[in-house]
Structure 1
Amino acid sequence: MLKEDIEQVLNNYKRARNENFTGHPMAKVLRINFPNDLKEIIDEPNKYKITGSAGQGNWTYSPWVAIFDKRITTSAQSGFYPVYLFKEDMSGVYLSLNQGATDLKNKYGNRRANEILNTKSKNFRDKLNGLIQVSDNFLESIDLEVENSPNAPFYEAGNIYAKYYSLNNLPSEEKLESDLKEVLNMYDLLVSEDEPLKIIENESEIAESQKKFVEIFKNATDKIVSGKAGFQGGQEEGNFYWSNKLGIWLCSRKIETSRYWNGFGVEEPEEDSGHTIICEINFPLRGIRRSVAGAFAKDESENIYVIHRGKLGGNFSKVFFEENYEGEWTSVQDGDRKTDVVVIGRLDDPVLPEKVRDFVLMIDRMKNGPKIEETPSNEDNELEKLPSASFYEFLVESGYFFDPKIVENFLLSLKVKPFVILTGNSGTGKTKLAQLFARYQLSNYNIVPVGANWTENRHLLGFYNIITKNYQETTALTLITEASKNSQIPHFLILDEMNLSHVERYFADFLSSMESQEAIPLHSNEDNNVPNELKIPGNLLVVGTVNVDETTYMFSPKVLDRANTIEFSTSPAKSYMLNDYGEYQLTGNSEYLEDPLSNLEIRDCKLSQLKEELEDVKIEGGDYLWDVLADEVNNFQEVLGKAGFDFGFRVIDEILRFMYVAWIYEGRPEIWDNWMRYFDAQIKQKMLPKLHGSQRVLENVLMELFELCYTEAVEPSPRYFGDLKSDKNVKYLSSALKIQEMDKVLYEQRYVSFIN
């Protein structure tokens, strides 16, 4: 039973790790036998999901078997759960009440995730000690002594309480079962205490709660003045309720079409003066509106709480909030999903005003830095002076010069999808940019030159040699295998001169695997070093470079639809020789932009989710961004369709994901006046690359596309226009320049394509 399963793993796993993974009996022990035996021991096994892992496609160095209460989680990526964690050297195993780390790592990065896990472990222990007398023989820390697994530090940080069993001194079956039931009892206690708050959706409940919220501050008021409060993109007018005791003011009103607006500031207001809003705690009028900063939530006892989603607006992104907020996060039932939010306080709590004040002052410190009396220590100041170059600064300091927009587009594209095509003349820096970004990330990378004879995937992924009875590996396969073993580190596969051969011949099943997340069959033979099938890991980033000359091939629509195609222009010789590029700093959230593995969920983000995030964003002039994008995308789709180059849902979704990531990068502005710069990039990177054909097919289409890049109708063909860079009527400059270039080539050669 339980003791036999543990002994079997401890005695045999190290040897199994050197054998072929697929179909191995040891993997079956962890995935099937061990979980089934646990089901026989556990009372009410149906309320749990019990699963084990020996790895995915390859042996893991940290095998485990976990018990998930379905009310909390059904995977090891999130929540908390009991788990048997085996040490790498198989000298023993921990029964640990532990936490999922993957979601935290994806959201916050490794360092912050580790800190959060440690903090939550302590909080869980405090909660348990308030409920029961925890035995002294439980361990608060564990050491898996793992050298090869990137997950081990997070298992160790996530430990709440654990018991350790050495291979040389395993207790009896009865003792193992008794310990398990004791841990499950602790688990059940935490689960019962962990019933999430639920966001209130009822319109009348929200209205009543908003009324109470405002009354609380009105009752604490020492001074009421009228005036205006400004924020990026607009201002609000009304009465300002100032409290001497709290040191904050509230200005509140109902915006009939969308929300209850509650703005807070920290400077004492004066009559008919302008004031600065530090923080908004707004509430939707009805339903779930995740784009609104605040919400009301209630527990099982009908207590109502004020929560905040971390949306500050203006130039301050949610990522900025997450990285700087020092308080705790709480998971709430947010309609059909669970969301981490900040619980400010209970609505009927007598000290709610103080809790709101503390929240507002924390936001003030986050935005504007500490007050003079709160100046950080010398040690902190010295830390802030340490160099922290952005990737663009790294490029410049390394002696390489790229158009800053190209750099931004490259990094944005990698966040949306792990496949990017870089095109342009030879020597424009395509391969170098990808290589330098991999070096900047301290990541593993391989530059794989594509050969003209590549006609099948064996050139990329290898093949089984029937003569030697061994699998012939490639550098690309080795990199992909390494990426699978180190899922938290980006790995870059740079395919140099990707179109020297027909791309779809050697890359089609690779592309399909990236899209479907299904494994690629490699071989059906016995080979201990290479698995029978290969799954493309999410931390593998593929960058293909494309040179433009007579020796290369065109891309098929299947390839172009699945990538952002970024064109590199030839730099003026004088600018290059005199280093005359001017000074430029990436103005957005560069830390978010430069982490290709953060916010991974954007790769699969649905249209409805994107709309929910962007539907309240306006552009200059007051129109809603989402409505404008719908019209613009549709216009380009219709014109391209006249020549047979229209696009489907995949391209539309990826355009909108790019716009969403760009919006986050620019700080989630409520009024986004720079949106056209990024939509311009998507026209050129996603809509135009498939264009190719004769003058008869493309002449009128190019004219219509050119007109869509202008704010008003244009008359002559694009080739007759002069310098577009000084034309104020151009909406989408880079796309207009490309269309003008293609029109000139079409006129002179009677045929043109985007890439060749």
Structure 2
Amino acid sequence: MTLPVELATIFRNKQKSYKMVLIQSIIEEYRQSKLQFLPLSAVAERFLAYYRRRSEEEQVVDAPPANVADSWAAFTLTQTKALLRTPIDALSAILEANGDTITFKSHIWSMIDDAMLQELTEYAEAQLDDYHHQLAIQENFSLQGALDHILENYLTFKTQPFANHPVGSLVRNRIPEYLRSLDFIDSEYKVQGSIGQGNWVGVPWIAILDKRINATLQSGEYIVYLFADDMSAVYLTLAQGVTESIDRLKRRGAHEYLREKAQEIRKMLPLEDLELDALAPGIGSDYQASLIASVRYERGHIPSDEQLLADLENVVNNYKRYSVIVRHQSPLHETVEVEPVDYLSVPERIEAVKTFIRSKGFHFPPGLIENFYLSLKTKPFAILAGVSGTGKTKLVKLFAEALGATSANGQFSLIPVRPDWSDPSDLLGYKDLTGAFRPGKLAEVLAVAAEERNRHKPYFICLDEMNLARVEHYFSDLLSVIETQEWRGDRIITVPLIEANSLAPDDQPLYGGLALPDNVYLIGTVNMDETTHPFSKKVLDRANTIEFNYINLEQFPETAESQDEPDAGRATNAFLRSEFLQLIDAYAEHEELTKKVTSQLVRVNGILEQVHAHVGFRIRDAVCFYMIYNQQFGLMSEDEAFDLQLLQKILPRVQGSSSSVKRVLLQLMQVALGRNLPLQDYLDDASELYLKWSSWSTSEETAKYPFSARKLAFMLRRLEEDGFTSYWLS
């Protein structure tokens, strides 16, 4: 048996042992009482007993909060119940605490049996053992002692046989193992040390590098403990690899290049409490040129482990910021761009996109690219819905690549949504138990897109399988922030997603005040089946829902004599960015069209009001903007564009099983067909209607809005055959 994903990832992030012990305590209490709703005090007693027992047995264990008690023996049950708020909040996706009881959430209980409880117990025990192993490494090791030992004795060690020397194990194994056990050293980091290969190296070193930006120490940037040649000091440094630069530019050119690059990197990072002077007495000229920042520790005056770790965490936090930038931004030497001129008109650019997609061997229905473009232009959030395997994710990726936004340059990001996501922290990040901010992937992309140098580049974020979790829960902050867009000069700004004063000072420069930049476009892909969650009106109001359910399997890749990939150059953000935020922005210039579209919506709204599905000003404005952009760029006829808006903004709101819903569907069908129907005849049996209009080829008759008519036919069929209908069930 394998744990469901909601349970299999609950210990993915752990700064303390609390989460594992809490789960064990809940399972133990359940096995004894067989109650679904467990007394919180009973669970707290088991939780406290665990820590007291390990402390009495002198086993390694987390200490209690220092500001509360000196030992677990002195820790009270009331204090334990207060302490449990932290792991309960961290496990809020699966746990529910109400007053004096705690339980698994209902959807978790529906899956739990004895075998799953046993597997969950073993999972918690294994994670707890691993955590205590890391804790033991930290408790039984002194970084201060290790550095002192090397500084005092290395020159003597070099006169001794190299093979199997104990200092080799210290530098290669014990120090790296200790550093890897620290909670601020990510799993993406490689830690290694060396005293030489076969023979003593001049000075030893211990390095920490992010594997996502560095494969080796020959180039790139990393953290390294560097020892002075005479062992008078050791430097904790943020430095650059020198070998590749020397091979490419020779030594003098490499030194000049490294110094210039170090200066550019210093401008990007806070580097507080670090020495920025490149001079570090006692280390070679190559290393001197490579230094970005450092801390010097003199022999005989190495500070405490607490201070050493505080310094290291400071350097690591700066390195993390740099890693985010270098993984998502342009080259360091690039200056702030003046917005480049796009010499293609909007129709030419869209045609270039379609040509690019065809060159990749993919084909999408006519009008889809135009519709996708207009949807993003109207509002930077769209939903692609449909059965699996129809190319929803591929469309987002290819559309982005056709505009010059790729995974390689960081302008396209795919974020798979997990079923256990329950709040915005899964996307934006969270503060760990130490108060440090752990950014989510979305926050990293937003921070990079907001940089001044990137303001003219579009950034695409694809939330894959968006409705595996409840969108209005984990996406709530984004949904709200989208509605706060306003003009400030020539930029569109929003209120912050992350308030600066909610973060520690070290995290504020990059993530404080983080908002939704006007060059970021969010696209969710969804499959509507029994494993997914439906959308609320709050979500539907803010997005165009583009459906992929009409499949023509006889569409084949086009062959061409030349396989050269078309290149129309990069598109700027001006191609996609909204020109209107409020209807007043467009009304004076497009009054006639706005009144015409609004008149059509008024008629539709009168129909929807019968089932309380009518729309408000937000949807009116969005539909008007879509229609105005379409008219400006001449992409579709007016009826074709309104058909898609009826389909994407209105019909997803209609669902139910009542006769009122059927009457609404029939009245909407009249709008879609552009003529009156004998509604009373169809209230009892609408099969003639949906059999006629649910086919791709519909006879000689034509509909005013054919896509909407086809969808309504499917919805009517579901209502008559299943007794319930929804946009998503058709």
TM-score of the aligned structures, taking structure 2 as reference length: 0.47
Larger strand proportion of the pair: 1
Report which of the two structures shows the higher radius of gyration computed on alpha carbons.
2
Larger helix proportion of the pair: 2
TM-score of the aligned structures, taking structure 1 as reference length: 0.45
